[in-house]
Amino acid sequence: MNASYEFGILGPLVVTRDGRNMSLGAAQLRTLLAALLLDAGRVVPVDALVDRLWGECPPRGARNAVQNYVLRLRRALGPEVVRTDRRGYALDTEGGHRLDADRFASLTREGAAALDADRPERALELLGEALALWRGEPLADLEPERFRDVVPVLCEQRLAAEESWIDAAIRRGRPADALPELRRLTGLHPLRERFWAQRMLALYQCGRQGEALASYREISVLLAEELGVDPGTELKALHQRMVMAAPDLAPAVPRTGTGSAVSAAPAVPPPGPGRSGNLPAETTSFIGREKELAEAERLLGLSRLVTFTGVGGVGKTRLALRTARRVAAAFPDGAWLVDLAAVADPALVERAVAESLGLRDQSTRSATDTVADHLRARRPLLVLDNCEHLVDAAATLVLRLLRAAPDLRVLATSRERLGVPGEHLLLVPCLTLREERGGGACEAVRLLYDRAAACAVARRTGEGDGESAAELCRRLDGIPLAIELAAVRLSSLSVEEVLERLEDRFRLLSAPRHLSHGPAGWPVALDGPGPGGVPGQASGLVPGQAPGRAPVLAPGRYLQTLRGVMDWSHGLCTPGERLLWARLSVFVGCFDLRAAEAVCADEAGRPESCEAAEGIAREDVLDLIDGLVHKSVVTVEPAVSPGRHGGATRYRLLETIRQYGTDRLRAAGSSTGLLVRHCEYYRALTASAAAEWCGPDEAGWLERLRRELPNIRSALDFCRVSPGLAPTGAAIVVDLTRTRCWFFGSTLGEARHWIDSLSPLVDPGLGELTVMVPVMKAFVAIIQGDHSAAEAHLAECRAVAPGTPRPAPVVYIEGVYALLVPGEPASIAQLASARGEFIAAGRTGDAHMATMFWAMAAAFLGDRAEARLACDTYVAEAESAGAEWARTWAQWCTGLTELLHGEPRRGLAPLCDALVRQRALDDNWGPAWTLETLAWTLGALGHHDRAAVVLGAAHRYRQVTGARITELRPFGTLHARTRALVQEHMAAGAYAGAWERGATAEDSIALALGIAHEVRRPTDR
């Protein structure tokens, strides 16, 4: 029986035979197959195949090579699929073989016909099925230049189908269903007026007339800035009709096939890549909770905000994630998890949400505005996890987002309600303790058996101890965390022995809490957890909770039960392990062994524990951590990258366990001392990073600092509220800015938040720090394009360092300002002077930054000799230092210098090298500047169409990172000059299409590299 094949080109090339994926191996073989599929059923001449495989530079014997590839393809697919003809070769799609592009074309034709016949509901179904065939960019895994004549055509057909789908949704009376897709499409294709017209109409018919008119103003400004034209006839006419409130713009009433009105249930939106959300995959089985899952789904259908409340450890997070997965299909813009456990500062809640959504905005607007604008016309589900210590901040943000985004749903987990109007609560109960109907085990026992089996100890939970297992779960009150900890202990104890030990160790579970004491002499805090669930907090308030707020408490027995389980696990540890557990609680998120040793080990002869007279020796920390790992107190996160800074194993305390350790630390009176150590460690860490900046470990430091940001934020927050520690926090922020960590992670707005928060608390007269704080404030404001703030901070720099000569940092920031704001040639001498002083002082990293801006100033504002000298110096220093991030900017500077003072074509190679290196470093900041400079170079070389594409790609990177390139004088001047030059040589429509191709490319860097390679090829080969 002949095999049946399905071929896919609407995405990476795929081949399935009888439903199973096939691998064709070599790229040229897949390119050949793609070439045949594009003309499926028709003979493709050999010369055409040669051109597809090798372009303008085929090798000798290319025709014979094609014949060999065809033979290999026929062996893989069969001679009946690949036919030989005297004119060439053909791929047969008859006989049960199918091509997704053919199916797409057929469905879109049928959908268009249904729309023409005024059957919008049928058109929605057909067009939705057609768009579901797309898996990404056509032939995305093959070399783009080989199919540059085909891919744009296919993409245009997809856009036309999306236009028709949106028309059908609006005509069906469901404009709200089209809004999320229109928001995405106008973002990806900002110059395509048809999408803007549809967006305006959909907003208008949803009763959002103000937003519809605002959309017209937005596209008008964009067309004027990018193309220098006014909106087209369709947009103008639609706008005029909206202003006049034309009656024919009223929404259509949805009808069933019998003509009766129906409710506007959500239609299935056309799928798109990258919109599924960020929910983590489950790593263990999910037990029970059928009733709670059904109730959660019901509540999400009734309310836009549902909050899961309950005791820590009861499974709120796990239930929320499972609920989100079950309802994810109803949210075309994805389900997104935001974990607030590691966020201590209420002011950073909005940034945590932006970070989880992948939003990176370096502008001066607030993160709340960025998130609200992103969600405004989308239909996502936002899962806010662990809100209890940030209730007021979370509630304020949720209320703002719900008002801004009418299709947003929020699922929150907290130990108390958020108190937002319209909020629905679901108290998450413990697992069931009664047998299921039919005699099956209850949820709690099923969880115990499952987790014990995962530990390879199923023999200890066999049929003979069913009653004991049920009793154990009952005594643990059915709390999942307690049961899972008990399951771990079944590796060394039977169920009966665990029960006996529980009885001996934890009278807390049966005695009144105010009469109970924990093991090993640790007193149980008489006030217990505070309203937010933070143990031992005397004030009863958690950070971010306003005084006087009426908190919602979980039932006291839940808290006692969880504390009993924690006490039990605590009692099974050695004295050293217990002490380390408490001390490790100062870490937020992950930490490594070096951090644990530095913060938790005692100095020789100075123990700080009232429990263990010996304290903790540095050499014992590893063994103690190992013991805590085996007792399931500490979780191990394996190293994911090699290198001095990137390969260390990371550890984590689960949040409930960390809070328990925090309570113990406070009870022992050691909390403040350990938090000060924690701050001092991260002060030393950032200082080391700054000292080693522009060295061989530069890239490793950047990666490490990015992973350490949760702990650094915690340290900064403690410094902010602790008398006398503000200088430590300010020094941390300054050193992070000196290492460019904020730029590397696209979190420049956070740098400004911290330095603005800490700088008023720093006393004058602290020497260099007094100077560096306003210098870095000015630097951040300059890069953000906030010129007025930069001028104010520059005046502050001069005030703290009056007279002459001024300190090198002040001379440096004056030079940066003179270069980037007014564009003054005097900046060249200022930056050269600062560089010399930094070198003399041995400040390598600062000298590197001064050298970079010196070379930049000489290129933009100096003569040829100055530019060459500065550029050569910068390249030599970056290479000799072995600093990978510095190399990327040295290559960029080389390309800029060639463009302005040499041969622009010679600048293509270093610019491409910079892009490749930036991608390898996962640098999101650098490509925005490199792509912009590459576009200038292409324009100067006369490749106007290609320059337009790269201008679009650079625009997209600016939008992603918030880089305000065009607001910095020399960059803005060259940007405007290049755009005018390109538009002068291209028709408006051609420019718009080329620009949009770059702005909407899934991989802007790969596209730009391919274009540069094509330009370089004729002379470089």
Band (944; pLDDT cuts 50, 70, 90) = very high
Pairwise CA distance, residues 77 & 505, whole Å: 69
Q: How buried is 438 (Cβ within 10 angstroms: 0-12 exposed, 13-18 middle, 19+ buried)?
A: exposed
Closest CA to 32 of 56, 16, 13, 17: 13
Band (924; pLDDT cuts 50, 70, 90) = confident
Q: Give me the pLDDT at residue 439, please.
A: 57
Residue 140 has pLDDT above 70, yes or no: yes
- One-letter identity of residue 864: R
Residue 962 has pLDDT above 80, yes or no: no
Pairwise CA distance, residues 296 & 427, whole Å: 10
Lowest mean pLDDT among 208-212, 311-315, 318-322, 875-879: 311-315
C-alpha 670, offset from chain centre: 36
Q: For 1000, list phi and psi in degrees, rounded to 5.
A: -110, 0
At what angle are helices 844-861 and 671-691 packed, to 10 degrees? 50
Asked if 369 and 362 count as a contact pair (C-beta separation under 8 A), the reply is no
Question: How many CA atoms within 13 Å lie on the side-chain side of 75?
Answer: 9
Residue scoring higher pLDDT (200 or 517): 200
Pairwise CA distance, residues 109 & 103, whole Å: 10
Contacts of 452 (CB under 8 A, 6+ apart): 458, 460, 461, 487, 490
Q: For 21, list phi and psi in degrees, rounded to 5.
A: -65, 140
Asked if 571 and 586 count as a contact pair (C-beta separation under 8 A), the reply is no
Token duo for residue 722? 């602790």
Asked if 543 and 388 count as a contact pair (C-beta separation under 8 A), the reply is no
Asked if 385 and 341 count as a contact pair (C-beta separation under 8 A), the reply is yes
Asked if 911 and 878 count as a contact pair (C-beta separation under 8 A), the reply is no
Pairwise CA distance, residues 909 & 73, whole Å: 36
- Residue 6 is inside which H or E element, if any? strand 5-8
Q: Give me the pLDDT at residue 512, please.
A: 30
Kindly report the three-state secondary structure assignment for every residue of 445-463. HHHHHHHHHHCCCHHHHCH
Average pLDDT for 200-227: 87
Q: Give me the pLDDT at residue 1003, please.
A: 87
Lowest mean pLDDT among 106-120, 218-232, 784-798: 218-232
Token duo for residue 279? 């929910």
Between the two ends of the chain, the Cα-to-Cα distance in Å is 50
- The counts of H helices and E strands in the chain are 43, 15
Compute the CA torsion angle 949, 952, 953, 958 (nearest 10 deg): 160
Lowest mean pLDDT among 38-42, 384-388, 981-985: 38-42
Pairwise CA distance, residues 657 & 669, whole Å: 19
Residue 632 has pLDDT above 80, yes or no: no
Pairwise CA distance, residues 139 & 37, whole Å: 11
Residue 563 has pLDDT above 60, yes or no: yes
Dihedral sign for Cα 888, 891, 895, 896, please.
Answer: positive
Asked if 273 and 1002 count as a contact pair (C-beta separation under 8 A), the reply is yes
Band (98; pLDDT cuts 50, 70, 90) = confident
DSSP letter (8 states) at residue 572:
T
Contacts of 957 (CB under 8 A, 6+ apart): 924, 927, 928, 931, 963, 1004
Q: Give me the pLDDT at residue 425, please.
A: 92
Average pLDDT for 165-189: 88
Band (107; pLDDT cuts 50, 70, 90) = very high
Pairwise CA distance, residues 735 & 737, whole Å: 5
Q: Give me the pLDDT at residue 531, please.
A: 27
Band (967; pLDDT cuts 50, 70, 90) = confident
- One-letter identity of residue 995: W
Closest CA to 366 of 392, 404, 333: 404
Most confidently modeled range among 203-207, 329-333, 546-550, 622-626: 622-626
Residue 723 has pLDDT above 90, yes or no: no
Average pLDDT for 646-654: 78
Dihedral sign for Cα 833, 835, 841, 846, please.
Answer: positive
Band (365; pLDDT cuts 50, 70, 90) = confident
Band (862; pLDDT cuts 50, 70, 90) = very high
Dihedral sign for Cα 618, 619, 625, 627, please.
Answer: negative
Residue 492 has pLDDT above 50, yes or no: yes
Q: Give me the pLDDT at residue 261, please.
A: 34
Q: Give me the pLDDT at residue 817, please.
A: 96
Band (58; pLDDT cuts 50, 70, 90) = confident
Instruction: Reduce the DSSP state of residue 14 to 3 states and report it.
Output: strand
DSSP letter (8 states) at residue 593:
H
Pairwise CA distance, residues 443 & 290, whole Å: 10
- Tell me the CA distances in angstroms from 463 to 90, 291, 483, 629, one per residue in order: 65, 27, 18, 30
Closest CA to 135 of 158, 153, 106, 168: 158
**The overall pTM is greater than 0.75:** no
Contacts of 936 (CB under 8 A, 6+ apart): 899, 947, 974, 975, 978
Pairwise CA distance, residues 638 & 820, whole Å: 43
- Looking at the chain, the whole-number percentage of residues with pLDDT higher than 70 is 86
Pairwise CA distance, residues 883 & 729, whole Å: 27
Residue 1021 has pLDDT above 60, yes or no: no
Lowest mean pLDDT among 410-424, 641-655, 816-830, 833-847: 641-655
Q: Give me the pLDDT at residue 551, please.
A: 30
Contacts of 567 (CB under 8 A, 6+ apart): 505, 506, 508, 518, 519, 524
Instruction: Reduce the DSSP state of residue 22 to 3 states and report it.
Output: coil
Token duo for residue 747? 């979190």
Pairwise CA distance, residues 912 & 319, whole Å: 47
Asked if 335 and 351 count as a contact pair (C-beta separation under 8 A), the reply is no
Residue 801 has pLDDT above 70, yes or no: yes
Residue 983 has pLDDT above 90, yes or no: yes
Q: Give me the pLDDT at residue 571, please.
A: 79
Pairwise CA distance, residues 626 & 634, whole Å: 8
- Tell me the CA distances in angstroms from 162 to 6, 123, 129, 723, one per residue in order: 24, 11, 11, 59
- Tell me the CA distances in angstroms from 886 to 111, 729, 812, 869, 918, one per residue in order: 54, 27, 18, 17, 10
Contacts of 754 (CB under 8 A, 6+ apart): 716, 729, 733
Q: Count of CB atoms within 10 A of residue 597's CB?
A: 18
Query: What length does the chain have?
Result: 1021
Pairwise CA distance, residues 600 & 592, whole Å: 12
Instruction: Reduce the DSSP state of residue 653 to 3 states and report it.
Output: strand
Residue 49 has pLDDT above 90, yes or no: no
Asked if 892 and 926 count as a contact pair (C-beta separation under 8 A), the reply is yes
Residue 539 has pLDDT above 70, yes or no: no
C-alpha 105, offset from chain centre: 35
Asked if 22 and 76 count as a contact pair (C-beta separation under 8 A), the reply is yes
- Residue 302 is inside which H or E element, if any? helix 290-302
DSSP letter (8 states) at residue 427:
E
Closest CA to 852 of 893, 795, 809, 794: 893
Token duo for residue 661? 């350790």
DSSP letters along 21-65, please?
A: E----SHHHHHHHHHHHHTTTS-EEHHHHHHHHHTT-PPTTHHHH
DSSP letter (8 states) at residue 12:
S
Average pLDDT for 438-460: 74
Residue 770 has pLDDT above 50, yes or no: yes
Closest CA to 711 of 766, 651, 668: 651
- Looking at the chain, the whole-number percentage of residues with pLDDT higher than 90 is 40
Token duo for residue 993? 């299409």
Token duo for residue 566? 């924690």
Pairwise CA distance, residues 99 & 725, whole Å: 66
Residue scoring higher pLDDT (491 or 807): 807
Average pLDDT for 236-240: 89
Q: Give me the pLDDT at residue 241, please.
A: 86
Buried b (16+ CB within 10 A) or exposed e, 618-637: eebbeebbebbeebbbbeee
Residue 665 has pLDDT above 70, yes or no: yes
Lowest mean pLDDT among 312-316, 469-473, 523-527: 523-527
- Residue 652 is inside which H or E element, if any? strand 650-653
